[in-house]
Amino acid sequence: MTTILIKNANLFYAKHLNKSDLLIKDGKIFKIAEVINEQADRVIDAKNNLVAPGLIDVHVHFREPGQVHKETIATGSRAAAHGGFTTVFAMPNVTPVPDNSDDFKNQLELNKQSVIKTLQYAPVTKEETTDELSPIEDLAKLGAIAFSNDGHGINNAKTMFDAMQRIKAVNSHLAAHVEDQNLFNKGVINAGPAAVELGLPAIERVSETSQLARDLILAKETGVHYHVCHLSTADGVKMIQIAKNAGINVTCEVTPHHLLLSDNNIVEDDANFKMNPPLRSELDRRALIDGLLDGTIDMIATDHAPHAESEKNQGFLKSAFGITGIETSFPLMYSRFVKTSLMSLEQLLELMTIKPAQTFGLSAGEIKIGANADLTIIDLNKNYQIKKEDFISKGVNSPFLGQDVYGQVQKTFVNGREVYSI
Ligand SMILES: NC(=O)N[C@@H](CC(=O)O)C(=O)O
Ligand SMILES: [Zn+2]
Ligand SMILES: [Zn+2]
């Protein structure tokens, strides 16, 4: 029996912060009390730092197999632990796309290299780009956490309608990268003043909103749990609010970058600001913040999309879409939302633990007796600068480089096993 005693925690427990000690036995939370004086194999003084449930990110790209020069399951998961995360959902836009039982089983085998809990999305359609549905029933049985063609919209309404019915029948979830390929029009930046100024092909908001409107109607008809990836538009927020009020089974996520940046921040041709969906207008950004605060938006997800530096230093036209994000999500959200009193720390933690767990039916996201000891210790007072050299991820391209933040992860545990320590 291994026991770990964590003393002097500012513990997020039962949705409240309390000064507590915490005893872990055999990888599970065994006891929570104001003072615990039992013998333990290891005693950790949390020094009044935050002890939170391990954070959950339902949207990451780990690039293995196929593009391991960008990231591997090992580097991505270690980066996640550095960010305070203990559970992530990996997108299936790898090579090969795990769109059949053999490749999916192989993906699950590879995911065992993860130092945290890496759960796997299965693609909705073959190759993520065709209109032939994946063997949804087989992939669900093998353990797909949900289905997504992330990176690609599903353009054909009939394909989406059929997919929703089959995903509903196996009681799974459909996470949609909402993008009408025709309206996307090979753009690289939001349609707005920055696009005009830099003379770049633009992505219209309607590429997101028109497909979202269609999908909400299809979700209503099929009853499937429809989850919207990386919501980026004000109209999107409004539609989701209406859909929720109408009883449609819809949830959605927003990224830290869409909450904190708009195309106003793009002052030069710097692909650290290039991702899909693109940074939208200030008006969109404000609507996303309102949607997050009023509960229309259910959770924070990073869309951690690492690329090699050589794939990101070629300007907006030629660089890849996507930015690194899993190591900066908590400190950015804490610094810009909690320290500025836009929301409470409890609210932020809920958005990064309890809400994603509930939405996807995970038994995780809470520190309670008998739960797996997935947790992270964070020094909220530690002030530092976001620097390339501090990333564990192979992806170091971030629009937040040089920014000053609070909140440094000290240690992360998965099933009571230390997976990150400063
Ligand atoms: N977000 C991005 O800009 N890129 C993602 C794909 C995606 O999330 O749509 C990627 O895989 O690189
Ligand atoms: Zn996407
Ligand atoms: Zn993505």
**Per-residue model confidence as pLDDT tens for the chain (422 residues):** 699 999 999 999 999 999 999 999 999 999 999 999 999 999 999 999 999 999 999 999 999 999 999 999 999 999 999 999 999 999 999 999 999 999 999 999 999 999 999 999 999 999 999 999 999 999 999 999 999 999 999 999 999 999 999 999 999 999 999 999 999 889 999 999 999 999 999 999 999 999 999 999 999 999 999 999 999 999 999 999 999 999 999 999 999 999 999 999 999 999 999 999 999 999 999 999 999 999 999 999 999 999 999 999 999 999 999 999 999 999 999 999 999 999 999 999 999 999 999 999 999 999 999 999 999 999 999 999 999 999 999 999 999 999 999 999 999 999 999 999 99
Ligand nearest to the CA of 62: 1
Q: What is the complex's ipTM, to 2 decimals?
A: 0.99
**Distance, C-alpha 360 to centroid of its chain:** 13
In Å, what is the CA distance from 54 to each residue of 51, 128, 230, 291? 9, 30, 21, 24
Q: Where are the alpha helices (DSSP H) in 117-156?
A: 136-142
Which residues define the annotated binding site for Zn(2+)?
A: 59, 61, 150, 177, 230, 303
The bridge status of strand 173-176 relative to strand 146-148 is parallel
pLDDT of residue 185: 85
| Cα–ligand 1 centroid distance for 276 (angstroms) | 6
Helix then strand then coil, % of the chain, to nearest 5: 35, 25, 40
CA proximity to 385, closest of 367, 369, 408: 408
- Give me the residues near ligand 3 (ion), CB cutoff below 5 Å: 150, 303
Q: C-alpha angle with apex 334: 27 to 49, nearest 5 degrees?
A: 45
> What is the separation of C-alpha 50 from the centre of its chain, rounded to a whole number of angstroms?
21
Q: Token pair for residue 340?
A: 């500025």
Residue 126's nearest CA partner among 138, 135, 116, 137 is 135
Q: Quick one: which ligand is closest to 323's CA? A: 1
Beta-carbon count within 10 A of 387 CB: 12
**Which residues form the pocket of ligand 1, taking CB atoms under 6 Å from any ligand atom?**
61, 93, 150-151, 177, 275-276, 303, 305, 321-322
Phi–psi pair at 48, nearest 5 degrees: 65, 15
Dihedral of the alpha carbons of 80, 83, 84, 89, in degrees to the nearest 10: -30
Candidates 230, 321, 326: which one to mutate for ligand 1, based on the most atoms within 8 Å of Cβ? 321
DSSP string, 11-47: EEETTEEEEEEEEEETTEEEEEES------SEEEE-T
- Please return the burial class of 15, using the count of CB atoms within 10 Å of its CB with bins 0-12, 13-18 and 19+: exposed
**Mapping DSSP to helix (H, G, I), strand (E, B) and coil, where does residue 121 land?**
strand
Residue with CA nearest ligand 1 atom 9 = 151
Domains defined along the chain, listed by start: 3-51+370-382+405-421 (2.30.40.10), 53-359 (3.20.20.140)
Q: So which residues are the catalytic ones?
A: 303
Give the residue whose CA is nearest to atom 10 of ligand 1: 305
**Ligand 1 atom having least distance to the Cα of 151:** 9
**Cis peptide bond upstream of 92, omega within 30:** no
Residue 411 has a pLDDT of 98
